[in-house]
Structure 1
Amino acid sequence: MKPRAIRRALSAVLLVTLAVSTTACAENTSASPDPTLHVVENNGHRLAFHFTPGSSPAIVLDAGGGSDSSYWKDLVPRLHAATGDQIITYDRAGLGDSDEVPGPWRVEDAVSDLEAGLRTLGVTENVVLVSHSQAGEIATYFVRRNPRLVSGAVLVDASLPPLYTDDEITRLVAANQPQVDAARKDPSSKQNRQLLATADSFVAVHRAYHQVAWPDAVPATVIVSEKTPFDGSPEDAQRWREAAASFARAAPNRTLVTAAGSSHDIPVDRPDLVLDWIEKMASLVR
């Protein structure tokens, strides 16, 4: 796999790239108070949630690996203007303004954090999840635990269970190993600690994830990029597209959409497409 493909693969399969993490943290710094900010405590750490009031459904935007709530800063005002709905973004543990949590990354902890945030904000029904890349894994487990809370989802080039065969996990671990080894030489860096936390649990997390099914009752739109995170590795790119197609075929209330010409960062490359499908899902569940 070429170096560029390795960097994109890291983001797609949870391993946090240093460049993305650094940018996300820098963008989140503000000299003035943020009226949307709500600090949520869960299991001994604090999380930054951003809440824009509106009608139902509550649209929750969850960014991919290494990115925080600032990833959605251009889409939030447009989405709120178009729908009038509640819009929620947040920084996962260790990112943006949320506390760092030591130890290997656990999807169950990420789900618990999102549950705590929605509970604190008073969101008890009719949620639409919009989940990019890594956040697709959090969404899958979240929906399984809260099928009556989530009314629908838009999965944006999301990491989905069909991808993670033993063969693909082995390929990804091998491709990522040089960056993981480099991070171990400097564990004092916050970004490197996040990378290592994810790497240390990667194999076990994704072997388990491969066996997880999305609840049939919850509709989902699956938007897959044309270039995928593996631009430069045709075999892995094809496996990514096939995983999205397989997931979409598994139930009649799922729609597969291809973002023509887009990189893995579909919300950046094709924001109008993403907004359109979020609006369609929100209209469906009103």
Structure 2
Amino acid sequence: MINQNKIEIFQKGKNGTPIIIFTGIGCSFDEWYEVTDLLSQSNRVIMFHRPGLGESEIGNEVRNTQSVVNEVNEMIHLLKLSEPVILIGHSYGGLCAQHFVKVHPNKVVGIVLVDSTSVDLKVLDDLNLPVLNEESTDEYWMEKCHSYSLMNQGELTKIIKPTLTEKQKLFMKDIQQRLIDFQVNPSLYKAMHSEISNWKRDADIIKNLVEYPNIPLIVIGRDKEHCINLGVMDGLPEWELRVFEEKWQELIMYQANLTQNSNLIFAQNASHSIHFDRPDIIIESINKLNYFLLMGEFLQND
């Protein structure tokens, strides 16, 4: 129990520096099945579902990055993690990880941001992209999430028609079922509505907190051209996709300037879901951090 709510926590592996994974908005930690299976061979891996996700209970509290910081800090205490941890943050989870490391720098020994949401995400709203913006504004998603949060599982199943990716279909049957059930939980959409409604305000708060600590940071970004090609295949305007992807890449590159002790990697042939498309890069990044912890020397990119 954390803050009087039941929180779903998953642990794998017993040795090595603990790794805590922050998932993106609307994302299950079961999506990380392949990555954690490999990481657990060298590290103790800890994943959790924020309130409203999976089996984690949600109340009427505001869902923002500060809430996540408080919950993860309490989770560290409950799990009796006495040593600093490695954080992996994907998408919105990367925003949460950036907040956590600024508030609790002594509890983090390294961080991997995986195509992370930027503290400057507001600049994306300034892009004049008529087609892309038609169904991608915060207001659009908040309205959609609110309506979904009022439905039951049966109604959600009919509307969403939950599916699995080809890679997810290779997962164990119980993991596949959990991923299906995850998508038709009304509480998920209640949580998403609150997180989306607060994330721009959260980003401003994080940006204005103390300087980012000088600990090893690995920033992984998606493949710009690959994402443009995927969008074109879906019938979206190439020029809009290019404008958006170039600005997204610029924000990713800026994250590598948060500390002088950083690596910047662009994952070839990867979409936003790098943990699906290029799990090897995430594994390699953790290996670098493990090397640093062992040798005291961070492997910089050439």
Give the TM-score of the pair, scaled to structure 1.
Answer: 0.76
1:257 to 259, 265, 274: 265
Distance 1:240 1:267 in 2: 18
Deviation (angstroms), 1:78: 1.3
Q: Give the equivalent residue in structure 2 for 1:218.
A: 215
Mapped to 2, the partners of 1:259 and 1:164 lie a distance apart of: 24
Instruction: After TM superposition, give the deviation of residue 123 of structure 1 in Å.
Output: 0.7
Structure 1 or 2: more helix by fraction: 2
Corresponding position of 1:66: 26
The range that moved more, 145-154 or 206-215, is 206-215
1:220–1:255 Cα contact (<8 Å) kept = yes
User: Gapped runs of 5+ residues in structure 2?
Assistant: 152-185, 232-240, 295-302
Question: Residues of 2 paired with 1:88 and 1:141: CA distance?
Answer: 18
Query: Aligned residue for 1:15?
Result: none
Matched residue, 2:205: 208
2:56 maps to 98
Q: Is the 8 A contact 2:214 2:260 kept in 1?
A: no
Equivalent in the alignment of 1:180? 142
Instruction: Output the CA distance in 2 between the equivalents of 1:116 and 1:106.
Output: 16
Aligned 8 A contact 2:224 2:249 in 1: no
State the SS of the aligned residue for 2:80.
coil
Amino acid at match of 2:6: R
- 1:230 shift after superposition: 7.2
Contact kept, 8 Å, 1:68 with 1:96, in 2: the verdict is yes
**Matched residue type, 2:24:** G
In the other structure, the counterpart of 2:178 is none
- Separation in 2 of the partners of 1:125 and 1:187? 39
Pairs within 5 Å for 1:20-99 = 41-81=1-41, 83=42, 85-99=43-57
The match for 2:191 is 194
Moved more, 160-169 or 70-79: 160-169
Question: Which segment is superposed worse, 41-50 or 179-188?
Answer: 179-188
Percent identity over the alignment is 21
Which residue identity does 2:40 align to in structure 1?
H
Which whole-Å deviations, capped at 9, do the CAs of 1:67-126 have from their partners, x for residues lacking one? 122121122121122x1x211111111101111132442211111111111111111222
Tell me which of 271, 276, 291 is aligned to 1:283: 291
- Equivalent residue number for residue 270 of structure 1: 278
Deviations along 1:145-200, one digit per CA (max 9) or x if unpaired, are 21111000111111122443485499879734333334444541424322321233
* Pairwise CA RMSD: 2.7
Deviations 1:242-269 (A, max 9, x none): 1111121342201100001110000100
- Equivalent residues of 2:219, 2:265 under 8 A apart: yes
Contact 2:20 2:87 in 1 (8 A): yes
Structure 1 residues 217-245: Cα deviation after superposition (integer angstroms, max 9, x where no partner): 22110000014997542222112111111
Rounded to whole Å, the distance in 1 between the matches of 2:225 and 2:74 is: 32
Relative to the length of structure 2, the TM-score reads 0.72
* Gap change, CA 1:210 and 1:236, over 3 Å in 2: farther
Checking the alignment, whether the CA contact within 8 Å between 1:165 and 1:207 is kept in structure 2 is no
Q: How does 1:240-255 map to 2 (within 5 A)?
A: 240-255=248-263
CA contact (8 A) 1:61 1:131 kept: yes
The answer on whether the counterparts of 1:65 and 1:134 sit within 8 Å (CA) in structure 2 is: yes
Q: Which amino acid aligns with 2:292?
A: L
For 1:114, give the aligned amino acid: V
